[in-house]
Amino acid sequence: LGLRFPPGVLRMVRERVPPERLSEVVLGAGLHDPASVLRLGLVDEVARDAGDAARRKLAALAAHPADGYAAAKAALRGSLLDGPGYE
């Protein structure tokens, strides 16, 4: 497509995609079927009913203490939102 990844998006991709799959995902710029996105680490789960799977996952996450969850999430992802691309 000739598009460049914004720096903030590229940081997120680097955090999410396993290092051994990073070049395939970024440089390949392809469309992938459900089995491939799972193999590439782009999704955590493939389900027939995505809405039901999402509701179950959200319910499990919502059961955690909100303050502790927010602090852990910020510690893991906070640096992703710093710097160029998120201003």
Angle between helices 7-16 and 19-28 (to 10 degrees): 140
User: Quick one: pLDDT at residue 59?
Assistant: 96
User: Quick one: pLDDT at residue 80?
Assistant: 58
d(CA 51, CA 36): 20
Is the pLDDT at 87 greater than 50? The verdict is no
Q: Model confidence over 3-58: pLDDT tens digits?
A: 787 888 888 888 888 899 888 888 887 888 999 989 888 888 899 999 999 999 99
